[in-house]
Amino acid sequence: MLRKPQYIALGIVALAGLIFLSLPDAAASRVKLALTGLFLPLFGLTESTQSVARRAGNAVVPRDDLVRELEQLRAEKQKLEFSIAQAQEAARENDRLRRQAGFPARSPWKLKPARVIARDPANWWRTVFIDVGSKDGVRVDMPVITPEGLAGRVSTVGATRSQVVLLGDQNCRVAARVEETKENGVVMPYAADPAIVTLTYLSRGSPVKPGQSIVTSGLELKPGNQVLTSGLGGVFPAGIRIGEIVDVRSVGFGLYQEARLKLAVNLNALDQVWVVAQ
Amino acid sequence: MNRLETISTLLAAWLAVAFEVSFNGFRNWFGAQVSLLPALMVYVALSSSLSSVALLAICGGLMLDSFSANPLGVTTVALALAGTLLHYKRDLVLRDQTYAQVMTGLLASALVPASVVLALIFSHQPVPLTGRLLGQWLVMALGGAVATPLAFRLFAQLGRWFSYQPLSESQYRATREIKRTKF
């Protein structure tokens, strides 16, 4: 049988659970960020160890390989300089035309590099922690990207750390557009596969029959079509790559269509990301 | 459980959470992260007091939830539930047998995530129940079952290193020696 001190211990747990579960979201986020501070020494140690291992690995790379890689990078840099010059010219032209048409000027993105320091231990959520916070100018709802495409958005911000909710999580829905057909939809999670998301609420096509291509707004929606952020909703800027269509089907008794997308970013291998300050 | 054991349990919980948030191997191999806290809870529940169970549930649960999108405190309640059940029935468990350790680890590692998911279903952040989630739950249960005997061995080793060991008694006693004389 349970004795009196044991009842007290159980009561303390129940009380603590109730108190923490009933905290308002903002307070709970602050407590969570404070608790993650307990792990900072360990993250620092991990970073130092990785840095030492990387330096040790660099020390044994043959000089010939380094010289070859340097030559490749120089050639690539020259190509990129030409591309940048072209892009800058196009941007200038775009600005000029926007001014003439009376459109507001587009502000350039400010990219803040960040490193993924922790992942959500619960298997049913898809969030990560990054090592930048409000001190670095990070704010809630800022998009997080990689060179391959969109990764997610900032959900909670601490002074030196932030939580990012990734694509495919219940709490990350993105307004998206199919590049080829200009069809708009919403990216939602797809529970069966973490590398896939669903693009839904695409406008209704003609009834699907075996062998017949699906038609939306007079344009075919095909596997391999690229999907980008549409900019609707104001959270994600337009034009960030999300993924490509795998297949399309008619849902909601034919009211609208749904496409499965293969994400452009491998979210399981996220290491270095960029926070977009618009 | 003495103070050293309490500290080592909390340290193990801290390391377990750090391992879970930074090691991706299980996610990449099996599609799910294995939780080590239920295995630790089995050890504490079977070899310590309910106060230690409460301490581990509060500290471990809060640390785990701080890195997660779970509501803060939900893992605390789930760990406390598993720990209390095991502690209440600890006299019926052959805690030194590996088989019993594996089975209690399986039970606790299945019960904790199931309780959390059940709590989330009734919250404002419901988790969709899918086949993938079921597979992840099985991986977590099996992973915890494997980790539990390891936790017992780890703490037994720590006990051998940091506790006084009883001296082995010899059968020979000088006071009982029969002195041989002439007669």
Q: What is the CATH number of the domain that holds B80?
A: 1.10.1760
Kindly indicate the confidence band of residue B67, based on its pLDDT and cuts at 50, 70 and 90: very high
pLDDT at B147 > cutoff 90: yes
Q: What is the pTM of this model?
A: 0.81
Please give, rounded to a whole number of angstroms, the shortest distance from the CA of A126 to a CA of chain B: 8
Kindly state whether residue B93 falls inside one of the protein's structural domains: yes
- Could you tell me the residue ranges of all domains in chain A? 4-59, 108-278
Q: Establish how many alpha carbons lie within 13 A of residue A45's alpha carbon, considering only the half-sphere containing its beta carbon.
A: 8
The residues, ordered by sequence, that sit 6+ positions from A226 with a Cβ below 8 Å of its Cβ are: A178, A179, A180, A241, A243, A244
Tokens 């579960």 belong to A21
Contacts of B67 in chain A (CB under 8 A): 32, 36, 118-121, 129
What rounded mean pLDDT belongs to chain A? Answer: 86
CA of B120: how far to CAs of A122, A165, B123, B129, in Å?
Answer: 12, 18, 5, 11
Which residue matches tokens 């069809």? A183
pLDDT at position A149 = 92
Say if residue A215's pLDDT is above 60. Answer: no
- Burial zone of A65 (CB within 10 Å; 0-12 exposed, 13-18 middle, 19+ buried): exposed
**A20 and B125: CB-CB below 8 Å?**
no
On chain A, the residues whose CB falls within 8 A of the CB of B114 are none
Whether B67 is in a domain gets the answer: yes
Answer yes or no: do B22 and A118 touch at CB < 8 A: yes
Question: How far is Cα A34 from Cα A181, in angstroms, rounded to an integer?
Answer: 46
Going by pLDDT thresholds of 50, 70 and 90, the confidence category of residue A214 is low
Sign of the C-alpha dihedral, residues B58, B63, B69, B75?
A: negative
Regarding the domain delimited by A108-278, which CATH topology (the fold level of the hierarchy) does it fall under? Thrombin, subunit H (2.40.10)
Is residue B83 a contact partner of residue B104, using CB atoms and an 8 Å limit?
no
Residues of chain A neighbouring B69 (CB-CB closer than 8 A): 120, 122, 125, 127, 155, 163, 165, 169, 171
For residue B132, the chain A residue with the least C-alpha distance is A192
What pLDDT does residue B38 have? Answer: 95
- Min Cα–Cα distance to chain B from A118, Å: 5
As a whole-number percent, the residues of chain B with pLDDT over 70 amount to: 98
A-chain CB neighbours of B50 within 8 Å are 2, 5-6, 9-10
In this prediction, residue A208 has a pLDDT band, given cuts at 50, 70 and 90, of low
CA distance B172 to chain A (A): 44
Instruction: Please compute the mean of the pLDDT values over residues A9-28 and round it to a whole number.
Output: 85
Cβ within 8 Å, pair B69-A120? yes
Cβ neighbours of residue B74 closer than 8 Å, sequence gap 6 or more: A17, A21, B61, B65, B116, B119, B120
What band does A192 get if pLDDT is binned at 50, 70 and 90? confident
The string of pLDDT tens digits covering residues A149-169 is: 999 999 999 888 899 999 989
Q: Is residue B168 part of a domain?
A: no
Contact status, residue B34 vs residue B139, Cβ threshold 8 Å:
yes
Closest CA to A172 of A211, A133, A198: A198
CA distance B67 to chain A (A): 6
Residues of A with CB below 8 A from B19's CB?
none
Domain count of chain B? Answer: 1
pLDDT of residue A231: 87
Does residue B110 register a pLDDT over 90? yes
Look at A193-202, B48-57, B60-69, B157-166 and tell me which has the smallest mean pLDDT: B157-166
- Residue A245 carries which DSSP code? E
Q: What does the pLDDT read at residue B127?
A: 84
Interchain CB distance below 8 Å, B80 and A12: no
AA letter at A109: W
* CA dist., res. B153 & res. B182, Å (int): 57
| Pairing relationship of beta strands A215-216 and A196-202 according to DSSP bridges | unpaired
Q: With contacts defined as CB-CB under 8 Å, which chain B residues touch A123?
A: 32-33, 113, 133, 136, 140
Mean pLDDT of chain B: 88
**pLDDT one-digit tens code per residue, A64-107:** 999 999 999 999 999 999 999 999 999 889 888 988 888 877 77
Q: How far apart are CA B18 and CA A235, in angstroms?
A: 32
Residues 6+ apart with CB under 8 A from A252: none
DSSP state string for A1-20 = ---HHHHHHHHHHHHHHHHH
Query: Given this model, what pLDDT does residue A217 score?
Result: 54
Closest-CA residue in chain A for B49? Answer: A6
Average pLDDT over residues B77-98: 89
* Six-digit token string for B24: 């991706």
Q: Which of B33, B64, B66 sits opposite A123 (nearest CB)?
A: B33
pLDDT at B68 over 80: yes
- Here the tokens at position A128 are 């990560």
Q: What is the reported pLDDT for B140? A: 94
Q: In Å, how far is A17's CA from the nearest CA of chain B?
A: 5
For A87, left (φ over 0), alpha (ψ -120 to 50), or beta? alpha
In this predicted structure, the answer to whether residue A261 has a pLDDT above a threshold of 70 is: yes
Residue A157 to residue A140: CA distance in whole angstroms: 6
Residue A201 token pair: 């609420």
Mean pLDDT for B92-112 is: 91
Domain range enclosing B76: 3-159
Quote the CA–CA distance of A116 and B179 in Å, as a whole number. Answer: 78
**Beta strands in chain A, from DSSP E residues, in sequence order:** 110-119, 127-130, 143-146, 149-157, 162-166, 174-178, 184-189, 196-202, 215-216, 219-220, 226-229, 241-251, 256-263, 272-277
In a domain, B126, yes or no: yes
Q: Looking at per-residue confidence, does A206 or B119 come out higher?
A: B119
Across the range A134-146, mean pLDDT stands at 92
CA atoms within 13 A on the CB side of B108: 37
If you measure CA to CA, which chain B residue comes closest to A19? B73
* Shortest CA gap A36–chain B (Å): 6
Q: Do B62 and A46 lie within an 8 Å CB cutoff?
A: no
Testing the interface with B: which of A2, A12, A13, A23 to mutate, by most B Cβ within 10 A? A13
Query: Has residue A207 got a pLDDT over 70?
Result: no
Report pLDDT for A212.
56
